[in-house]
Amino acid sequence: MNQVVLAASQLDKRVRSAEGELTLLAGINLAIQSGETVAIVGTSGAGKSTLLGLLAGLDTPSGGQVWVDGEDLFALDEDGRARLRAAKVGFVFQAFQLLPNLTALENVMLPLELAGRRDAAAQATQVLDRVGLGKRLQHYPKQLSGGEQQRVAIARAFATQPKLLFADEPTGNLDNKTGAKIIDLLFELNAERGTTLVLVTHDAQLAGRCHRRLELEEGRLRSEA
Amino acid sequence: MNALLMGLRQLRRDWRAGELTVLALALTLAVACVSSVNFFTDRIHLALESQANDLLGGDLVLASSNPVPAAFKTRATQLGVHLAETVEFPSMVLAGERTQLAALKAVSEAYPLRGHARIAHALFAPDEPIAGGPPPGKVWVHGRLLSELGIEVGATVTVGAATLQVDAVLASEPDQSEGMLFNLAPRLMMNLADLPATGLVQPASRVRYRLLMAGEAAAIQSFRQEWQPRLQPGEQLVDVKDARPQVRTALDRGEKFLGLAALVSVLLAGAAVALAARRFVSRHLDNCAVMRCLGAEQRFINRLYLSQMLWLGLLASMLGVLLGYLAQGGLVIVLGPLAGVELPPPGARPVLWGMLTGMITLIGFALPPILQLAGVPTLRVLRRDMGRVRPNTVLAYGTALGAMLILVILQARDITLAAIVFFGLLLIVLLLGLLSLLLLRLLRSLKTRADDTWRFGLMNIGRRPAQSVIQMVGFGIGLMALLLLAVVRSDLLDEWEGRLPADAPNRFLINIQPDQLPAVRQFFAGEGIAAPKFFPMVRARLIAINGKAVNEESFANQHARQMVSREFNLSWASELQADNQIISGRWWNENDHGRAWLSVEQGLAKDLGLAMGDTLTYSAGGQEFSAGIVSLRSVEWDSFKPNFFVLAPPGLLEEFPASYITAFYLPSERYTVLNDLIQQFPNITVLDVAAILDQVRRIIERVTLAVEYVFIFTVLAGLMVMYAAIYATLDERIREAAILRTLGARRGQLLGSLVVEYVGLGFLSGLAAAISAGVVGVVVAQRVFELTYVPGPTLWLGGMLLGAVGVGLAGTLGTRFVVDQPPLRTLRGD
């Protein structure tokens, strides 16, 4: 149980801008145990989303390393990181990021299909049933409410049984009541499946439900609570 | 997962979600358009060709000064080619005491292989087609021979040692050569079986042998290829392309019109595909980022989209070919009765051609931007501003250009036309782009003076210059196609048909003596026929070029040999006729009276190897004279007006014996006028060109109809481009309208500004399109169709009006729902 699934060492991210070099992240070190739930918090522009992007291998750092389940993320090429994500990582986004041209079922099937699973439809149906959308399989995203869309996104994230789940402001686009239900669902599934959850949020209530909080300030990790 | 299968699945999902409608529609239309044109042109072409072959009496003719070798006939028969023979030579014909030189033509049983001769049962009576040639013992003679000999149908004539009966008046023969019209000797056609009995063909006789051949196109083609290199001196293989300039010109023009229509349609559809692909890419950026985030490799995404596009190409092309087939079927129902002949069924080639066109169009215009999707940064899932894919412009434009070039080469039967269309289209896109930028600049300086809605709409055009230019180029291309079709095409077709008005001369009078001119004019006045123009004609033989004696042996060119071996008809004129045009040098004026100058037709100059400044020496009536070439002319031989290869200024030729020639229109029901004319002026010869005239006119009519029909597709393709251009910016508009509505813009304001924006865009692109269409019209008319076209005010007004109203209406209707969309839904990114 107490195995490290996600670790970062001396992670830096700098970008060039009109005013010269801008440091987004500096010297980030962290280690997250399997099954943990961790919230990354901080003010706007503190570098939360940048850190999430790097931890998930969606972006490349200026320096430092990230290990996902023991694999050095940036020793892999772009496609290698994609393969790693396919096998071990799930995502939930603030803007849901459902494919508008696919039905709810097809959206959930997508990562399973990408992984070459033959039982994609059955699996996806099962997960959608679990998130309470068993009757809305053939609906397109635009026919669903915001909360329903985020449930589809959660179903998509859990469909491949990932070791690690990243969530970027999962309640940011939802009202409080719906947001609370979504958080419940996220934590229920997390507990059921033993997934490690790393989420970025403004929401103190949400952060409070996590085992740990990592607070970012001007690109540096201030404290662990 | 198998990318091919996944591609098909994604195609199905995208199709169901309406993501592919415009792309698929544009592609299907491109293929439907090309296929229908190809199916139809193939069939019409075959029909036209076989009808044109009527004018040759066969599909291919071997003309020779010696009897046709037996080996030649044997080989042709082996290939399944049907044969007929004719033997032609001049000979005296006797009737009682009177004699007349006639152009004899003996024809075999199978003659003619294509088309029909036309005969009448009395002089100047209406004629009708008849199968075959005269039976043994009978002859058909030209009306002139009857008048010259003073006999009627039913009389007997003596030809060499044989006595034959005149069975009918020969009005026209399927394989009559150009020269025959102006041959002084009238035709006598007899059966080949009677030829030995005449004893006329001796070893040294000047005899022309012709072997007519007809059969499957492939057999004729291979036979031609096989024998062309083995021809002996004095032998010549002739097909319809080599015969009869009037018909050839008509056929060529028709083919060019159809080829142009097909080409333009494909390229238009290509533009629509490119615009649709642009929207597809922008809508799939997020999808790609999400898929990469979910673990899809770049290579997989590439394969996925490639296979999706291949499936789309395959299905849309198949549908397009089917639609194309149905469309040409409809055409045959409409035009079939007019065609008068059974159209041969289309082959498999247009199917392959259509599929190929579809794939090339898709690969060339859509694939490069779509394959760049795989390069979208994964980070876009977190930050939407990321991942605007930097299009590889060189690759995208390069492939599109390559595709255009391949399509042009595939479709155009004519290199000049292909080059004009290819470079023309490039120039037009550039021109439209530049004009759009320029007009946008102008607009920015104007916009401050308008009221709110106006200002807002006009500002919208200027605020996104890149998109506005793309849209304007799209609208411009579409509008230009419509303008070319609506205005330029009808002007061009009118101009072409105008070459042969209903009252184009159908009778020629030759051999009018100078002292008869007043009486002939009076005769015309008495019959209520407007007095035609009389042209003087001096018969002279070319004996030297630049002081060096020439004869038939001096030239290798068949036409040159013919021209030198007989007398030229020279004429003089003070003014250049409308159907003549000076190519180099200058025409003369009053001060040049009597100068030893000549103006030579360019084709003759080429055949004889003549250049400006050369001196020609002629012998006429025993006298010689020399004159220098001061101009070269082009002549519209299909105008059916008297024209001359060589002209002199007044004052040079008057001392030589001359006769006059004229041409006039006589309605067919008034043919008895000619009887009276011949009685009053027995020496005058009447030539009847009504039959040839009708043939050419029928071809023009038919081709015009076909072209009109084919252009419907071009119009559809033009509309498709405009539709795609409207849809290209739809997503941005929806987002923008939502933001504006949350900022408090009223529905009416938004709608008003949309109307203003589209009307403005349409007006500007209409102007740009009219300028481009005018330029294209002039160039195409001059270079390809040898017609004169001057863009009129209809074009400019039409362009701006069509643009403003058409684009305004279509754009507003197409995007109207943008203002009805609840803003929150849009902004939430649903």
pLDDT digits (tens, 9 = 90+) for A187-221: 998 888 889 999 998 888 888 889 999 998 888 88
Mark out chain A residues that contact chain B at CB-CB < 8 A. Answer: 49, 52-53, 56-59, 78-79, 82-87, 89, 91, 93, 95-97, 99-102, 106, 110-111, 113-116, 140-142, 146, 156, 168, 173
Scanning the structure block, which residue is given the tokens 């035609």? B532
CB B140 within 8 A of CB B167: yes
Interchain pair B382, A111: CB under 8 A:
no
Q: For residue A47, is it left (φ>0), alpha (ψ between -120 and 50) or beta?
A: left
Interchain pair A79, B298: CB under 8 A:
yes
pLDDT digits (tens, 9 = 90+) for B46-64: 666 666 666 677 888 888 8
Interchain pair A86, B294: CB under 8 A:
yes
> Min CA distance, B397 vs chain A (Å)?
28
Specify the higher pLDDT residue, B694 or B778.
B778
Interchain pair B292, A142: CB under 8 A:
no
**Which one of B294, B385, B386, B830 would you mutate to disrupt binding with A, by most A Cβ within 10 Å of its Cβ?**
B294
pLDDT of residue B181: 42
Mark out chain B residues that contact chain A at CB-CB < 8 A. Answer: 1, 6, 9, 13-14, 16-17, 19, 286-287, 289-300, 377-379, 381-384, 825, 828-830
Q: Report the range of poorest mean pLDDT among A30-34, B375-379, B736-740.
A: B736-740
Q: Distance from CA of residue B106 to its chain's centroid? A: 36
Q: Which residues of B397-410 are buried (b: 16+ CB within 10 A; e: fewer)?
A: eebbeebbebbbeb
Residues B245-259 have a mean pLDDT of 61
Specify the higher pLDDT residue, B821 or A75.
A75
Dist. CA B593–CA B577, nearest whole Å: 18
Q: Which of A82, A100, A168 sits opposite B382 (nearest CB)?
A: A168
Residues B221-232 have a mean pLDDT of 83
> Min CA distance, B387 vs chain A (Å)?
12
> Chain B: residue nearest A87 by CA?
B295
Banded pLDDT at B180 (limits 50, 70, 90):
very low
Q: Strand B659-664 vs strand B507-512: parallel, antiparallel, or unpaired? A: antiparallel
> Chain A: residue nearest B301 by CA?
A114
> Min CA distance, A156 vs chain B (Å)?
9
* Tokens linked to B533: 């123009």
Residues B699-703 have a mean pLDDT of 66
> Chain B: residue nearest A143 by CA?
B830
Contacts of A114 in chain B (CB under 8 A): 1, 291, 294-296, 300
∠ CA B760-B765-B770 to the nearest 5 degrees?
130
**Residue at B430: amino acid letter:** L
CB B209 within 8 A of CB B87: yes
Dist. CA B713–CA B700, nearest whole Å: 21
pLDDT of residue B649: 92
Question: Around B53, how many Cα atoms within 13 Å sit in the side-chain half-sphere?
Answer: 21
Q: H or E stretch including B284?
A: helix B245-293
Q: Distance from CA of residue B566 to its chain's centroid? A: 34
Contacts of B14 in chain A (CB under 8 A): 101
What percent of chain A is predicted at pLDDT more than 70? 98
Q: Looking at the predicted structure, is the pLDDT value of residue B553 above 80?
A: no
Specify the higher pLDDT residue, B100 or B695.
B100
Q: Report the range of poorest mean pLDDT among A23-37, B393-407, B651-665.
A: B393-407
Q: Which of B291, B298, B381 sits opposite A58 (nearest CB)?
A: B381
Residues A60-77 have a mean pLDDT of 91
Rg (CA), chain B: 34
Alpha helices in A72-215 (DSSP H): 78-88, 104-114, 120-130, 146-159, 176-193, 204-208
Interchain pair B381, A93: CB under 8 A:
yes
Q: Which of B295, B379, B384 sits opposite A83 (nearest CB)?
A: B295
pLDDT of residue B178: 43
* Tokens linked to B468: 């506005």
Q: Looking at the predicted structure, is the pLDDT value of residue B86 above 80?
A: yes
| C-alpha pair distances (Å), B515 with each of A57, B217, B427, B571, B651 | 105, 54, 60, 17, 18
CB B311 within 8 A of CB B17: no
Q: Report the range of poorest mean pLDDT among B96-110, B338-352, B467-481, B618-632.
A: B338-352
CB B510 within 8 A of CB B663: no
Interchain pair B295, A93: CB under 8 A:
no
Dist. CA B357–CA B246, nearest whole Å: 34
Contacts of A57 in chain B (CB under 8 A): 378
pLDDT of residue B698: 67
Residues forming beta bridges with residue B616, ordered by sequence position: B545, B627
> Min CA distance, B303 vs chain A (Å)?
13
pLDDT digits (tens, 9 = 90+) for B188-226: 999 999 999 988 877 656 678 889 888 887 888 888 888
Q: For residue A97, is it left (φ>0), alpha (ψ between -120 and 50) or beta?
A: left
pLDDT digits (tens, 9 = 90+) for A164-193: 999 988 888 788 888 888 889 889 988 888
pLDDT of residue B182: 43
Banded pLDDT at B823 (limits 50, 70, 90):
low
∠ CA B274-B279-B284 to the nearest 5 degrees?
120
Scanning the structure block, which residue is given the tokens 């002996």? B232
Q: Looking at the predicted structure, is the pLDDT value of residue B804 above 80?
A: yes
Interface size between A and B, measured as CB pairs under 8 A: 89
Peptide bond into B368 cis (omega under 30): no
Q: What is the ipTM of this complex?
A: 0.81
pLDDT digits (tens, 9 = 90+) for B621-653: 788 899 999 999 988 776 777 888 899 999 888
* Tokens linked to B576: 């250049």
First to last CA, chain A: 21
CB contact set of B656 (below 8 Å; sequence gap of 6+): B538, B540, B620, B621, B623, B625
Mean pLDDT of chain B: 79
pLDDT of residue B122: 86
Banded pLDDT at B435 (limits 50, 70, 90):
confident
**Which one of A93, A97, A105 would you mutate to disrupt binding with B, by most B Cβ within 10 Å of its Cβ?**
A97
Contacts of A154 in chain B (CB under 8 A): none
pLDDT of residue B528: 85
Contacts of B9 in chain A (CB under 8 A): 113
pLDDT of residue B830: 44
CB contact set of B163 (below 8 Å; sequence gap of 6+): B156, B157
Strand, helix or coil at A144? coil
